[in-house]
Amino acid sequence: MKRRHLISITDLTPEEVGVVIQRAMAMKQDGHGKPLAGKSVAMLFEKPSLRTKVSFDVGIQQLGGHALYLGREEVGLGGREPVADVVRVLSRYVDAVVARVFSHQVLEELAKHGTVPVINALSDAEHPCQVLADLLTVREHKGRLEGVTIAFIGDGNNVSASLALGAVSVGANFVIASPKGYELPQSLIAEAWRIASATESSIRQVRRPQEAAAGADVVYTDVWASMGDEAELAARRKAFQGYQVNPDLMRLANPDAIFLHDLPAHGGEEISVGMLEHPQSVVFDQAENRLHAQKAALEFLLG
Ligand code: NVA
């Protein structure tokens, strides 16, 4: 059987994205077996993590497998030891590698030199596991994905990149409002359009947050400065002024719209203080769904 990776959300076909979300719903409601019994997964992390680390660790145990966490100091990925050597060794011990890295290229190198599936636990370019959980959350709260409009307010970053591709894969419309200089790459927009034309959905880029939020079913935001962008924080704080999800912006969306944030959140920056507790916020359901979505993805890739 061909080895499958989850480095980009597009490593799953649009149909498979739907299958994994459906399976995650079923596993959450009805339970599951132990498809990872006797299997081990290495978790290589170059950056901090709460949700990803804990949900992968717990999810792997619940599926009957064994997870090993390897932090930055332990492995020295690409420093103490070349990436190719690390993954050639790990491939002899474990059945999959979950990795959170600064550079997306490191994931590609892991996939190239290893012999086991590689799962992206966040890179500078994409965050596919987050987006499986996001789409699961939308499916649960809206009862459907097709035809739903998801508005993202803010940075054209890893999260919005995977969300754009994932949304159109399942037939949802995606609209993003970013300040000048912080838009999603044009190559990604083009790829999203290719997918959207097959699923009869759409992708739109606008400048004003109000334009994106108007009539949306889902309003989503993420931090102004991602991990690795800390040196740009002052410039970003200026550029992102006004790119805030707050009750006024929520009022422009559909009355039954939900609010999502992948967390951690910064009250007073990309959200107003108290936004996580807003009646339309489902961010803690969304955080819980990391567990269910990743279990379905692990079963799909390794089961
Ligand atoms: N865009 C954020 C997501 C954190 C889960 C970052 O990369 O830091």
The CATH number of whichever domain residue 154 belongs to comes to 3.40.50.1370
Report CA(43)–ligand 1 centroid distance (Å): 17
| Residue 218: HSE in the Cβ half-sphere, 13 Å Cα cutoff | 33
pLDDT of residue 1: 66
Residues 7, 286, 102, 97, Cα dihedral to 10° = -50
Report CA(209)–ligand 1 centroid distance (Å): 20
Report CA(226)–ligand 1 centroid distance (Å): 5
Same domain, 162 and 45: no
Residue with tokens 């035809």: 147
Q: Convert the pLDDT of each residue in 106-153 to its tens digit.
A: 999 999 999 999 999 999 999 999 999 999 999 999 999 999 999 999
pLDDT of residue 2: 83
Same domain, 208 and 274: yes
pLDDT of residue 92: 98
Q: Is residue 135 part of a domain?
A: yes
Same domain, 77 and 185: no
Same domain, 122 and 137: no
Same domain, 120 and 241: no
Burial of 143 (0-12, 13-18, 19+ CB in 10 A): exposed
Q: What atom of ligand 1 comes closest to residue 222's alpha carbon?
A: 1
Closest CA to 287 of 52, 127, 45: 52
Q: Is residue 30 part of a domain?
A: yes
43 DSSP β-pair partners: 69, 98
Same domain, 183 and 263: yes
Asked whether residue 103 carries a pLDDT value surpassing 80, the answer given is yes
Number of separate domains in the chain: 2
Q: Which residues line ligand 1 (CB under 6 A)?
A: 122, 157-159, 222-223, 226-227, 262
Q: What is the Cα–Cα distance from 99 to 42, expressed in whole angstroms?
A: 8
Q: What is the Cα–Cα distance from 8 to 10, expressed in whole angstroms?
A: 5
Same domain, 141 and 277: yes
Asked whether residue 76 carries a pLDDT value surpassing 90, the answer given is no
Range of the domain at 113: 9-126+289-302
pLDDT band at 59 (very low <50, low <70, confident <90, very high): very high
Report CA(75)–ligand 1 centroid distance (Å): 22
Report the pLDDT averaged over residues 196-223.
Answer: 98
| Ligand 1 atom 6: residue of nearest CA | 226
Q: Is residue 1 part of a domain?
A: no
Same domain, 151 and 268: yes
Q: Is residue 166 part of a domain?
A: yes
Same domain, 174 and 272: yes
Q: Is residue 3 part of a domain?
A: no
Tell me the best of 45, 122, 130, 134 to mutate to test the pocket of ligand 1, counting ligand atoms within 8 Å of each CB and taking the most. 122
Q: Using an 8 Å Cβ cutoff, are 107 and 120 in contact?
A: yes
Same domain, 201 and 254: yes
Tell me the best of 157, 271, 289 to mutate to test the pocket of ligand 1, counting ligand atoms within 8 Å of each CB and taking the most. 157
pTM attached to this predicted model = 0.98
Q: What atom of ligand 1 comes closest to residue 122's alpha carbon?
A: 7
| Ligand 1 atom 3: residue of nearest CA | 226
pLDDT of residue 277: 98
Q: Convert the pLDDT of each residue in 19-55 to its tens digit.
A: 999 999 999 999 999 999 999 999 999 999 999 999 9
Q: Is residue 172 part of a domain?
A: yes
Q: What atom of ligand 1 comes closest to residue 227's alpha carbon?
A: 8
Same domain, 162 and 36: no
Q: Using an 8 Å Cβ cutoff, are 243 and 181 in contact?
A: no
Q: Is residue 4 part of a domain?
A: no
pLDDT band at 263 (very low <50, low <70, confident <90, very high): very high
Tell me the best of 51, 158, 176, 271 to mutate to test the pocket of ligand 1, counting ligand atoms within 8 Å of each CB and taking the most. 158
Same domain, 122 and 136: no
Q: Using an 8 Å Cβ cutoff, are 296 and 21 in contact?
A: yes
| Ligand 1 atom 7: residue of nearest CA | 226
Report CA(146)–ligand 1 centroid distance (Å): 26
Q: Convert the pLDDT of each residue in 221-260 to its tens digit.
A: 999 999 999 999 999 999 999 999 999 999 999 999 999 9
Mean pLDDT score of the chain: 97
Report CA(227)–ligand 1 centroid distance (Å): 6
Tell me the best of 100, 152, 153, 226 to mutate to test the pocket of ligand 1, counting ligand atoms within 8 Å of each CB and taking the most. 226
Report the pLDDT averaged over residues 186-210.
Answer: 98
Report CA(2)–ligand 1 centroid distance (Å): 31
Q: Is residue 234 part of a domain?
A: yes
